Amino acid sequence: MKIVVLTTETLHHAYFLSRLADAFPIAATLVETQLLQPPFETHHPFEDLREDYEAQKWFKGKQPHLSDFAETSEFSSVNDTDAIATLVDLNPDVVVVFGTGKIRPATIATCPEGMINLHGGDPERHRGLDTHLWAVYHDDFSGLVTTLHHVNEELDDGDIILQNSLQVFANMGIHMLRSANTEACLKMTISALDMYARFGSFITRKQLLKGRYYSFIPAELKEICKRKFEKFTRML
Protein backbone atom coordinates (compact mmCIF):
# COMPACT_ATOMS: atom_id res chain seq x y z
CA MET A 1 0.00 0.00 0.00
CA LYS A 2 1.57 3.26 -1.15
CA ILE A 3 0.67 6.21 1.11
CA VAL A 4 1.21 9.91 0.40
CA VAL A 5 0.50 12.73 2.87
CA LEU A 6 -0.55 16.27 1.90
CA THR A 7 -0.03 18.75 4.73
CA THR A 8 1.64 21.95 5.94
CA GLU A 9 4.73 22.60 8.07
CA THR A 10 3.48 22.86 11.65
CA LEU A 11 4.46 21.22 14.92
CA HIS A 12 1.30 19.16 15.22
CA HIS A 13 1.58 17.95 11.64
CA ALA A 14 5.18 16.90 12.36
CA TYR A 15 3.96 14.82 15.30
CA PHE A 16 1.21 13.27 13.19
CA LEU A 17 3.66 12.38 10.41
CA SER A 18 6.25 11.01 12.84
CA ARG A 19 3.81 8.60 14.44
CA LEU A 20 2.09 7.67 11.17
CA ALA A 21 5.51 6.82 9.69
CA ASP A 22 6.07 4.49 12.65
CA ALA A 23 2.93 2.57 11.71
CA PHE A 24 3.09 2.62 7.88
CA PRO A 25 5.75 3.45 5.30
CA ILE A 26 5.12 6.90 3.83
CA ALA A 27 6.07 7.13 0.15
CA ALA A 28 6.14 10.93 0.09
CA THR A 29 4.86 14.05 1.81
CA LEU A 30 3.76 17.06 -0.24
CA VAL A 31 4.01 20.24 1.81
CA GLU A 32 1.81 23.22 0.95
CA THR A 33 3.63 26.50 1.67
CA GLN A 34 1.18 29.21 0.59
CA LEU A 35 -1.33 29.57 3.42
CA LEU A 36 -4.61 31.47 3.50
CA GLN A 37 -4.22 34.84 5.18
CA PRO A 38 -7.26 36.38 6.91
CA PRO A 39 -7.85 40.15 6.53
CA PHE A 40 -8.08 40.62 10.32
CA GLU A 41 -6.13 39.68 13.44
CA THR A 42 -6.49 36.06 14.47
CA HIS A 43 -3.56 35.46 16.82
CA HIS A 44 -4.26 34.90 20.52
CA PRO A 45 -1.62 34.36 23.26
CA PHE A 46 -2.93 30.88 24.03
CA GLU A 47 -1.51 29.82 20.65
CA ASP A 48 2.03 30.64 21.83
CA LEU A 49 1.40 28.54 24.94
CA ARG A 50 0.07 25.80 22.66
CA GLU A 51 3.34 25.66 20.71
CA ASP A 52 5.38 25.29 23.90
CA TYR A 53 2.98 22.70 25.31
CA GLU A 54 3.07 20.54 22.18
CA ALA A 55 6.85 20.75 21.84
CA GLN A 56 7.28 19.55 25.42
CA LYS A 57 4.53 16.91 25.21
CA TRP A 58 5.71 15.32 21.98
CA PHE A 59 9.34 16.29 21.34
CA LYS A 60 10.93 17.16 24.72
CA GLY A 61 10.96 20.83 23.77
CA LYS A 62 12.51 20.39 20.32
CA GLN A 63 11.05 21.84 17.12
CA PRO A 64 11.28 19.14 14.43
CA HIS A 65 10.38 19.42 10.76
CA LEU A 66 8.31 17.19 8.53
CA SER A 67 11.45 16.24 6.61
CA ASP A 68 12.80 14.58 9.76
CA PHE A 69 10.21 11.83 9.34
CA ALA A 70 9.56 11.38 5.60
CA GLU A 71 10.65 12.49 2.16
CA THR A 72 9.10 15.90 1.54
CA SER A 73 8.56 18.16 -1.46
CA GLU A 74 7.29 21.72 -1.17
CA PHE A 75 4.68 23.36 -3.41
CA SER A 76 2.86 26.65 -3.12
CA SER A 77 -0.33 24.62 -3.34
CA VAL A 78 -1.01 20.92 -3.51
CA ASN A 79 -3.18 21.85 -6.51
CA ASP A 80 -0.20 23.20 -8.47
CA THR A 81 0.58 21.53 -11.78
CA ASP A 82 3.91 20.27 -10.42
CA ALA A 83 2.24 18.82 -7.33
CA ILE A 84 -0.34 17.03 -9.45
CA ALA A 85 2.41 15.65 -11.70
CA THR A 86 4.24 14.38 -8.62
CA LEU A 87 1.10 12.60 -7.43
CA VAL A 88 0.57 11.05 -10.86
CA ASP A 89 4.15 9.75 -10.84
CA LEU A 90 3.77 8.37 -7.32
CA ASN A 91 0.48 6.63 -8.19
CA PRO A 92 -0.54 6.26 -4.52
CA ASP A 93 -3.19 3.93 -3.16
CA VAL A 94 -4.10 6.36 -0.38
CA VAL A 95 -3.56 10.11 0.00
CA VAL A 96 -4.02 11.49 3.52
CA VAL A 97 -4.86 15.21 3.61
CA PHE A 98 -4.25 17.05 6.88
CA GLY A 99 -4.46 20.82 7.05
CA THR A 100 -4.10 22.00 3.44
CA GLY A 101 -6.35 24.33 1.49
CA LYS A 102 -9.29 23.04 -0.52
CA ILE A 103 -8.39 20.14 -2.79
CA ARG A 104 -9.29 20.82 -6.41
CA PRO A 105 -10.77 18.28 -8.87
CA ALA A 106 -7.51 17.72 -10.79
CA THR A 107 -5.75 16.78 -7.55
CA ILE A 108 -8.61 14.50 -6.46
CA ALA A 109 -8.43 12.76 -9.84
CA THR A 110 -4.92 11.48 -9.05
CA CYS A 111 -6.36 9.16 -6.36
CA PRO A 112 -10.16 9.45 -6.47
CA GLU A 113 -11.02 6.42 -4.34
CA GLY A 114 -8.20 6.74 -1.83
CA MET A 115 -7.98 10.47 -1.06
CA ILE A 116 -9.11 11.10 2.52
CA ASN A 117 -9.20 14.22 4.66
CA LEU A 118 -8.96 14.89 8.40
CA HIS A 119 -11.47 17.52 9.43
CA GLY A 120 -11.24 18.95 12.94
CA GLY A 121 -14.95 18.95 13.66
CA ASP A 122 -18.25 17.40 12.61
CA PRO A 123 -18.86 18.41 8.97
CA GLU A 124 -22.57 17.76 9.41
CA ARG A 125 -22.53 20.69 11.86
CA HIS A 126 -19.41 22.75 11.15
CA ARG A 127 -17.44 22.85 7.90
CA GLY A 128 -14.43 24.99 7.02
CA LEU A 129 -11.88 26.55 9.35
CA ASP A 130 -11.36 26.72 13.13
CA THR A 131 -14.40 24.51 13.59
CA HIS A 132 -13.55 23.34 17.12
CA LEU A 133 -13.26 26.94 18.25
CA TRP A 134 -16.53 27.84 16.54
CA ALA A 135 -18.19 24.90 18.31
CA VAL A 136 -16.91 26.20 21.65
CA TYR A 137 -17.99 29.75 20.79
CA HIS A 138 -21.53 28.45 20.20
CA ASP A 139 -21.44 26.35 23.42
CA ASP A 140 -21.63 23.18 21.31
CA PHE A 141 -19.22 21.07 23.34
CA SER A 142 -20.66 17.86 21.91
CA GLY A 143 -19.29 19.16 18.59
CA LEU A 144 -15.72 18.57 19.78
CA VAL A 145 -15.19 15.63 17.47
CA THR A 146 -12.85 14.98 14.59
CA THR A 147 -13.74 13.31 11.31
CA LEU A 148 -11.98 11.32 8.60
CA HIS A 149 -13.83 11.47 5.29
CA HIS A 150 -13.37 10.96 1.58
CA VAL A 151 -12.36 14.04 -0.38
CA ASN A 152 -14.81 15.17 -3.02
CA GLU A 153 -15.22 18.40 -4.94
CA GLU A 154 -17.26 20.15 -2.24
CA LEU A 155 -15.46 21.21 0.94
CA ASP A 156 -15.79 18.77 3.88
CA ASP A 157 -18.66 17.01 2.14
CA GLY A 158 -17.30 13.52 1.41
CA ASP A 159 -18.51 10.23 2.83
CA ILE A 160 -17.46 9.70 6.45
CA ILE A 161 -15.02 6.89 7.21
CA LEU A 162 -14.47 7.38 10.96
CA GLN A 163 -15.38 9.92 13.62
CA ASN A 164 -14.14 10.28 17.21
CA SER A 165 -14.87 12.57 20.13
CA LEU A 166 -11.89 14.48 21.50
CA GLN A 167 -10.50 13.52 24.89
CA VAL A 168 -11.49 16.53 27.01
CA PHE A 169 -10.64 16.33 30.71
CA ALA A 170 -11.09 18.30 33.93
CA ASN A 171 -9.24 21.63 34.03
CA MET A 172 -7.96 21.20 30.49
CA GLY A 173 -6.70 24.44 28.96
CA ILE A 174 -7.72 25.49 25.48
CA HIS A 175 -4.04 25.39 24.45
CA MET A 176 -4.32 21.58 24.81
CA LEU A 177 -7.22 21.21 22.39
CA ARG A 178 -5.17 20.97 19.19
CA SER A 179 -3.01 18.17 20.58
CA ALA A 180 -6.13 16.22 21.56
CA ASN A 181 -7.41 16.63 18.02
CA THR A 182 -4.09 15.59 16.48
CA GLU A 183 -3.93 12.43 18.56
CA ALA A 184 -7.51 11.55 17.58
CA CYS A 185 -6.60 12.16 13.93
CA LEU A 186 -3.63 9.83 14.21
CA LYS A 187 -5.67 6.99 15.75
CA MET A 188 -8.38 7.29 13.10
CA THR A 189 -5.89 7.39 10.25
CA ILE A 190 -4.08 4.28 11.45
CA SER A 191 -7.42 2.48 11.87
CA ALA A 192 -8.54 3.55 8.39
CA LEU A 193 -5.27 2.43 6.79
CA ASP A 194 -5.62 -0.93 8.53
CA MET A 195 -9.12 -1.12 7.07
CA TYR A 196 -7.83 -0.33 3.58
CA ALA A 197 -5.03 -2.88 3.90
CA ARG A 198 -7.56 -5.58 4.85
CA PHE A 199 -10.38 -4.80 2.43
CA GLY A 200 -8.82 -2.73 -0.36
CA SER A 201 -11.25 0.12 0.26
CA PHE A 202 -12.76 2.25 3.02
CA ILE A 203 -16.09 1.48 4.68
CA THR A 204 -18.07 4.71 4.69
CA ARG A 205 -21.43 6.35 5.30
CA LYS A 206 -23.04 9.29 3.55
CA GLN A 207 -23.30 12.62 5.32
CA LEU A 208 -26.95 13.24 6.16
CA LEU A 209 -26.69 16.96 6.91
CA LYS A 210 -24.64 19.81 5.47
CA GLY A 211 -22.99 21.85 8.21
CA ARG A 212 -22.62 25.60 8.11
CA TYR A 213 -19.36 26.87 6.58
CA TYR A 214 -17.06 28.82 8.93
CA SER A 215 -13.98 30.90 8.13
CA PHE A 216 -11.17 32.11 10.42
CA ILE A 217 -12.22 32.99 13.94
CA PRO A 218 -11.03 36.47 14.97
CA ALA A 219 -8.67 36.99 17.90
CA GLU A 220 -11.30 38.70 20.05
CA LEU A 221 -13.63 35.72 19.68
CA LYS A 222 -10.80 33.37 20.62
CA GLU A 223 -10.69 35.11 23.99
CA ILE A 224 -14.39 34.29 24.45
CA CYS A 225 -13.67 30.68 23.40
CA LYS A 226 -10.87 30.45 25.94
CA ARG A 227 -13.13 31.57 28.78
CA LYS A 228 -15.98 29.30 27.72
CA PHE A 229 -13.81 26.22 27.22
CA GLU A 230 -11.96 26.57 30.50
CA LYS A 231 -15.21 27.19 32.37
CA PHE A 232 -16.58 24.01 30.79
CA THR A 233 -13.54 21.89 31.73
CA ARG A 234 -13.50 23.21 35.31
CA MET A 235 -16.96 21.67 35.71
CA LEU A 236 -15.99 18.19 34.46
Q: What is the pTM of this model?
A: 0.97
* Rounded mean pLDDT, 157-163: 97
Q: What is the mean pLDDT of the chain?
A: 97
In this predicted structure, what is the pLDDT of residue 145? 98
Res. 13 pLDDT band, cuts 50 70 90: very high
Number of domains in the chain: 1
pLDDT digits (tens, 9 = 90+) for 168-190: 999 999 999 999 999 999 999 99
Q: How confident is the model at residue 217 (pLDDT cuts 50, 70, 90)?
A: very high
Residue 134 has pLDDT above 90, yes or no: yes
Answer whether 103's CB lies under 8 Å from 152's CB. no
Sequence-separated contacts (24+) of 128-134 with Cβ below 8 Å: 128/155, 128/156, 128/213, 128/214, 128/215, 129/36, 129/214, 129/215, 129/216, 129/217, 130/214, 130/215, 130/216, 130/217, 131/214, 132/166, 132/177, 132/181, 133/217, 133/221, 133/222, 133/225, 134/214, 134/217
Beta-sheet strands, E only, within the chain: 3-7, 26-32, 72-75, 94-98, 115-119, 126-128, 145-150, 160-165, 212-214
d(CA 132, CA 126): 8
The answer to whether 38 and 81 have CB atoms below 8 angstroms apart is: no
pLDDT at res. 114: 97
CA distance 99 to 108: 15
- CA distance linking residue 145 with residue 235, whole number of Å: 19
pLDDT over 90 for what percent of the chain? 99
pLDDT at 36: 87
Question: pLDDT over 70 for what percent of the chain?
Answer: 100
The string of pLDDT tens digits covering residues 74-115 is: 999 999 999 999 999 999 999 999 999 999 999 999 999 999
Domain membership of residue 212 as a residue range: 3-234
Distances from the Cα of 53 to the Cαs of 12, 120, 180, 205, in angstroms? 11, 19, 12, 36
Q: In the predicted model, what is the mean pLDDT of residues 158-170? A: 97
User: Torsions phi, psi of 61, nearest 5?
Assistant: 90, -5
Model confidence at 61, pLDDT cuts 50, 70, 90, reads very high
Give yes or no for residue 163 having a pLDDT over 90.
Answer: yes
Vertex 44 angle, CA 148 and 29, to 5°: 35
Over residues 138-153, the pLDDT tens digits come to: 999 999 999 999 999 9
pLDDT of residue 111: 97
CATH of the domain at 29: 3.40.50.170
Average pLDDT over residues 122-151: 97
Mean pLDDT of 19-23: 98
